[in-house]
Structure 1
Amino acid sequence: MIGYNDTGWPSLGLDRGILRALAKKKFKCPTAVQSRAIPLVLAGKDVLARAHTGSGKTAAYLLPAIHKIMQRSDSKTKSNPRVLILVPTHELAQQVMKEAVSFLVECAPTLRAGELTCSGSADVLPRNFAGVPPEILVSTPSRVAACIRGGKFPPRALNSGLEFFVLDEADLLLSFGYEDDIRCIADATERGCQCMLVSATSPDDLSKLKAIVLHNPVNVDIALENNFVSGRVKEEQVTTGKSAVMPLISHYALEILEKDKLLYCMALLRLGLCKKKSLVFVSSPDAAVRLRLFLHKFGIPCCVLHEELPANSRAHILHEFNRGVYDYMIAAADDLSSSISVVNDDNKDFTKHTKRKRNAMSHAQTEFGVVRGIDFKDVHTVLNLDVPISASDYIHRVGRTGRAGQPGTAITLTTPKNARALEDMLSRHSVSRHDTRSAIALMPYKMLRREAVEALRYRAEDAARAVGRTAVREARLRELRAELLNSERLAAHFDGNPTDLALLKRASCLISHQEQPHLCHLPSYIRSQKVTCSSAKTGKKNKHTEGEKLTDETTDEIHDDHDEPSEYLKKRKTSRSKDFAHKSSNPSSKNLSWKGAN
């Protein structure tokens, strides 16, 4: 982990066991938010912390929470949770729980961390813990509130023994409509329980939650800019910028036509202009599946993540992506769900039908989240195929890269209609947050040349026609049948009903799936465009630049490429004949090389 602060871990007052765990996990030194927040939590103060994504906010509340439990391990309230952590999505709950377990294994093996799963009814939720909750309980507010209302927790489970109450991604908890659930939980907790709110946006947006759970909190506001600011505002406040490092993200905008989005996305990935690993955001599950089918035709393996997949499948996909099985992930962004707030960032929406979509969103979707909180490992590039509907959504999308001090790149494909609107939206966001020095400046993306895109156009248009609504529907059906076959709950049913299993497998085989392996091959005349793009900066000569002749091997490769249409071959043959006639009549042109058709 890259540290931002000169102060070491021992000076924060953490237990020695935690220090040993930090050393084993190679946490060299605390980040700015950790060095400011941890001593305040250990001192028993309520804390409201704001820091950018990837700044170590999770450890800022997990470490002091574990310290408190270790210091009072002889407590008489072992039958109740000692720490309650609320997060907006099931995926983030799993991530926080795994991080807590990784620390406990190293410093306190007898302590436990657990999660209230989002599947099943409230009647079966506490059974996972055999009647004894873990010391650290992580969940979404709706799960905990369901247990409280249904009387599934032990008596006074949250009123006696709960020492630390954490709300992670607090702004998103409000956006997802969890306010009533949080009030229910707060009423069930002991009045003097210490609380901490963690967010990536301005604390001014959290006035409702502050009134519900905090008591005379200390604001820890880690500014994005590198200027040192100090002072007191309304409440006791610790603000810093000296030790905070602004996320090293380069923001680019590429203006194209709406119909060319698939083409440009494929060109960016196929020509290697997006450094791996890459995360591609689209607007809906159908769009995600269509893009995966489209990219698959060009030999670009990728995985898809969206809210309609079962929780176990989503967890497996995240795990496979994080361990490097896939270099590209297509995610259906949960922008609509993350924008269900009383006041929108920009007081206006990008689409006229956003409000109707918001009202139609199911509760199951609110417990799924990709844009915020989830820690994708080693993501270097974020590609927005669709413009986010708010500045906050844009910030949290691109926040999946540039984490822990690592550089990252964010590319947004815009259209003539929304290019200017995106810039204005980001500008208004920085002004409303009084954060103009850290305003996001979108730069035009110039690494992808138009000639390189046009060389791929005829391939892309044919492939795009092959992945229409019917193909997407068939792919979704295959996806659903695969989930049914892999379902643990249906395994017993299939054992007793082998005919149903055979019919389901047969139905999966009946769906046609045409392969076009020739599209995976990238001819040299197209690859030369890629080299030209990169050589403009490096100063290296292109393989097909002037002064170098095209080799026989390369020429054969181009002519043997059977996926080119006959019209295209005829045009190039005519072009080569003209070039030959020109060379014969003009002696000075003998040393000129043929560059390949664009």
Structure 2
Amino acid sequence: MTNAVQMSSSENIEDPTVNTPAAEEAVATEPGITFAEIGLPEQLVAALARNSITVPSPIQAQSIPDALAGTNVLGRAQTGSGKTLAFGLPMLTRLSRHEDRPAAKRPRALVLVPTRELAFQVVDSLNSYAGALGLTVRPAVGGTPFAKQVDQLRRGVDVLVATPGRLGDHLRQGTCILDSVEITALDEADQMADMGFLPEVRSILGETPADGQRLLFSATLDREVQSLVRQFLANHVTHSTEDGRASVDTMEHYVLLVDRGQKDSVLAEIGARDGRTIMFARTKLGCEGITDRLRAVGIAAESLHGGKAQNQRTRVLERFKNGRTPVLVATDVAARGIHVDGIDLVVHVDPPADHKDYLHRAGRTARAGEKGTVVAIVLPNQKRQFKRLTGMAGVNAAAVAVTPGSAELARITGAKKPTGEPLRESSSRGERSFGDRGGSRGGYQGNRSSGGYQGNRSSGGYQGNRDGESRGGYQGDRSSGGYQGNRDSRPSTGYQGNRSSGGYQGSRDGESRGGYQGNRSSGGYQGDRSSGGYQG
């Protein structure tokens, strides 16, 4: 049930120093209210209609009028409830009243978000509406060129959408100044607290004008978020559409009890279903392992985690959005910025760290009033842990024992038998992960200075010269033998077999002598390295 609530800060945050008019009582949102009726300008109403958005969601209908009036707003709503437009539309409306361009380095509005992915999605969500008013929305996040952001800030930015870390860099280097910020929004404040960003958030808010308007949106209000509210949201109103627990109206929860030896088979059948699926693993290695096992049976899955470079993460997410990749395997941190409509199944492959992570994972589905299903794959030794987690999250999850091919598994998740035909390496694995030089696969690697093809060092492949000169050669697997051309500038080359199994080795020192060397452990012919000779 939706709770349309408007409360004073003293009702919600127990702090006598925060004063809000006591006359503010709980109000109900009028059914069927339109964006035009809550005070948005015609250009925005028309832009929303072009995107088939005509009726505001509950959190939008409650918070937008107060935000338009310049009031500080604390919005408590579940992921997928329309929070981005709830703070974005009033922000754009306020800035549209300016007739001049923003000054260099001085944005007029600021949106702080916990992750890069969420920043990009906020920018995408607001851009079309900002364009209708002649305003600019730009991101400032890590993993993307700093110089480009500096250039955009120098040209003037109306709305800056930033992560705390990268914005802190700009502030320290003087490439962004926040003394002209009129309105600040914090999105997913509870996630910023979980990720340890609140000290940076406090520092950033301290750089904005004390009399500026502030909007804070969060799915839950733990102690750290409450302290932020007390410090920076004086005289605010609170609008809540959820109680911080799971939505039972649009989301079904199941605990799927499986035997340890059947977990991979059950996951494979779930992955083969029709529709968009997101699976959660605890670690980066866990993500990669699940993805590899799914692809080995014909499921087009890709992984998303912090070990990937930003451009890789962006491409993986884009393929998931457009349907080329129906199954995404992600860690909690990487997935916090995933706001993709049409995800109808969330799978907890590994248990979440706590009930808040359970709710954040579950919030990837049942967005914007859609229906969704959340399932946890639970082994016998995990039943007690999941019972505690679901209880704390306010979830009434039905426990169902399932096996590969069972009717219950198909009914709950739409599971199907996978094709069993292995897929080639996923696009994101072919792009080498950030900081990852290992792996069992090869690929094309240009010479660091001049180019060359390098296969995996453990499976063999052609490797061009690394230092930009024309020499080089073919290098097979070092453990199984192969042809290795000379790596240095000496003119000699030779065939080197595996040292453990025997093979022909030419001279390494550029001279013409050398000979046959058998396995040192089993005997063989070895030419004297200086003059040749037989050695058993």
Both proteins in one fold, TM over 0.5? yes
Per-residue deviation at 1:146?
1.8
Instruction: Please name the residue that 1:140 is paired with.
Output: 163
Mapped to 2, the partners of 1:41 and 1:60 lie a distance apart of 9
The structure that is strand-richer by fraction is 2
- Residue ranges of structure 1 left out of the alignment (5+ in a row): 227-243, 335-368, 431-438, 455-459, 467-471, 486-492, 513-598
**Compared with structure 1, are the counterparts of its residues 256 and 278 closer, same or farther at alpha carbon in structure 2 (3 Å cutoff)?**
same
Query: C-alpha offsets along residues 351-409 of structure 1, whole Å, 9 cap, x if unaligned?
Result: xxxxxxxxxxxxxxxxxx30x34212311111111111211111111111111111111
Q: Which residue of 1 aligns with 2:83?
A: 57
SS of equivalent to 1:198: strand
Hey, what's the Cα distance between the residues in 1 that align with 2:324 and 2:174? 43
Q: Helix, strand or coil: the match of 2:387?
A: helix
Match of 2:218 among 190, 199, 205: 199
Q: Match of 1:534?
A: none
Task: Identify the residue that residue 350 of structure 2 maps to in structure 1.
Answer: 386
Greater CA drift, 40-49 or 414-423? 414-423
Q: Which residue of 2 aligns with 1:158?
A: 178
Amino acid across the alignment from 2:251: I
**Where does 1:510-525 land on structure 2 (aligned, <5 Å)?**
510=460
2:252 aligned counterpart, secondary structure: strand
Q: Which of residues 98, 102, 106 in structure 1 aligns to 2:124?
A: 98
What's the TM-score once normalised by structure 2's chain length? 0.70
Deviations, residues 303-357 of structure 1 (Å, cap 9, x unaligned): 21111111011011111110111211111233xxxxxxxxxxxxxxxxxxxxxxx
| Structure 1 stretch displaced more, 204-213 or 281-290 | 204-213
Shift of 1:81: 0.7
Structure 2 residue identity aligned to 1:138: V
Contact 1:4–1:31 (CA under 8 A) maintained in structure 2: no
Matched residue type, 1:388: P
> By how many angstroms is 1:127 displaced?
2.4
3-state DSSP class of the match of 1:410? strand
Q: Tell me: CA distance 1:482–1:142, structure 2 relative to 1, closer, same or farther (3 Å).
A: closer
Mapped partners of 1:252, 1:407: distance in 2: 14
Q: Paired residue for 2:454, among 470, 482, 504?
A: 504
Provide closer, same or farther for how the CA distance between residues 79 and 476 of structure 1 changes in structure 2, counting only shifts above 3 A: closer
1:78, 1:135 within 8 Å by CA — same for their partners in 2? no
Does structure 2 conserve the Cα–Cα contact (< 8 Å) formed by 1:50 and 1:203? no
Distance 2:172 2:279 in 1: 40
SS at the partner of 1:119?
Answer: coil
Q: Does 1:440 align with 2:466?
A: no
- Rate the CA distance shift 1:183–1:225 in 2: closer, same or farther, 3 A: closer
Distance 1:277 1:477 in 2: 20
Cα pair distance change 1:475/1:23, threshold 3 Å? closer
- Amino acid aligned to 1:288: C
Counterpart among 69, 76, 90 of residue 43 in structure 1? 69
RMSD between superposed Cα atoms in Å = 3.6
Q: 1:307 to 1:294 in 2, by over 3 A?
A: same
Asked whether 1:258 is paired with 2:282, we answer: no
The 1:5/1:57 distance shift into structure 2, 3 A limit, reads farther
Q: CA deviation at 1:165?
A: 0.5
Instruction: Kindly indicate whether residue 366 of structure 2 is the aligned counterpart of residue 402 of structure 1.
Output: yes
Matching residue's letter, 2:454? L
State whether residues 102 and 157 of structure 2, in contact with CA within 8 Å, keep that contact through their aligned partners in structure 1: no
Q: Deviations over 1:104-126 (max 9, x none)?
A: 23x12x3211011313686x364
| CA positional deviation for 1:72 | 2.3
Is contact 1:304-1:330 (8 Å) kept? yes
Q: Alpha carbons of 1:505 and 1:5: their partners in 2 closer, same or farther (altered >3 Å)?
A: farther
Distance 2:144 2:276 in 1: 34
In the TM superposition, what are the counterparts of 1:421-432 in structure 2 within 5 Å? 421-427=385-391, 429-430=392-393
Other-structure match for 1:112 = 136
- Structure 1 position 258, deviation (Å): 3.3
Matching residue within 160, 173, 178 for 2:192: 173
- Secondary structure, aligned partner of 1:115: strand
Q: Is the 8 Å Cα contact of residues 106 and 153 (structure 2) preserved in structure 1?
A: no
Question: Size of the alignment, in residue pairs?
Answer: 417
Using a 3 Å threshold, how does the CA distance of structure 1 residues 408 and 193 change in structure 2: closer, same or farther? same
Identity of aligned residues (%): 26
For the residue of structure 1 that corresponds to 2:84, the secondary structure is: helix
1:269 paired residue number: 271
- Normalised TM-score (structure 1): 0.63
Q: Of 46, 52, 57, which aligns to 1:26? A: 52
For residues 231-273 of structure 1, the C-alpha deviation after alignment (integer angstroms, 9 at most, x for no partner) is: xxxxxxxxxxxxx985511101111233432122113334x4x
Q: Which residue of 2 aligns with 1:189?
A: 208
The answer to whether structure 1 residue 72 and structure 2 residue 86 are counterparts is: no
Residues 299-378 of structure 1: matches in 2 within 5 Å? 299-334=298-333, 369-370=334-335, 372-378=336-342
Pair 1:149 & 2:172 matched: yes
For residues 244 and 116 of structure 2, the distance between their equivalents in structure 1, rounded to whole angstroms, comes to: 32
Which residue matches 1:295? 294
Does the 8 A contact of 2:184 with 2:214 survive in 1? Answer: yes
Structure holding more helix per residue: 1
Q: Which moved more, 1:296-305 or 1:134-143?
A: 296-305
Distance 1:87 1:4 in 2: 30
Structure-2 change in CA distance of 1:139 and 1:225 (3 Å): closer
- Partner amino acid, structure 2, of 1:214: L
For residues 503 and 389 of structure 1, what CA distance do their matches in structure 2 show? 42
Aligned to 2:442: none
> Which protein is bigger by CA-based radius of gyration?
2
Q: Secondary structure at the match of 1:504?
A: coil
Do 1:186 and 1:212's aligned partners in 2 also have CA atoms closer than 8 Å? Answer: no
State the distance in 2 between where 1:508 and 1:482 align.
19
Higher mean C-alpha deviation, range 32-41 or range 256-265: 256-265
Distance 1:333 1:323 in 2: 22
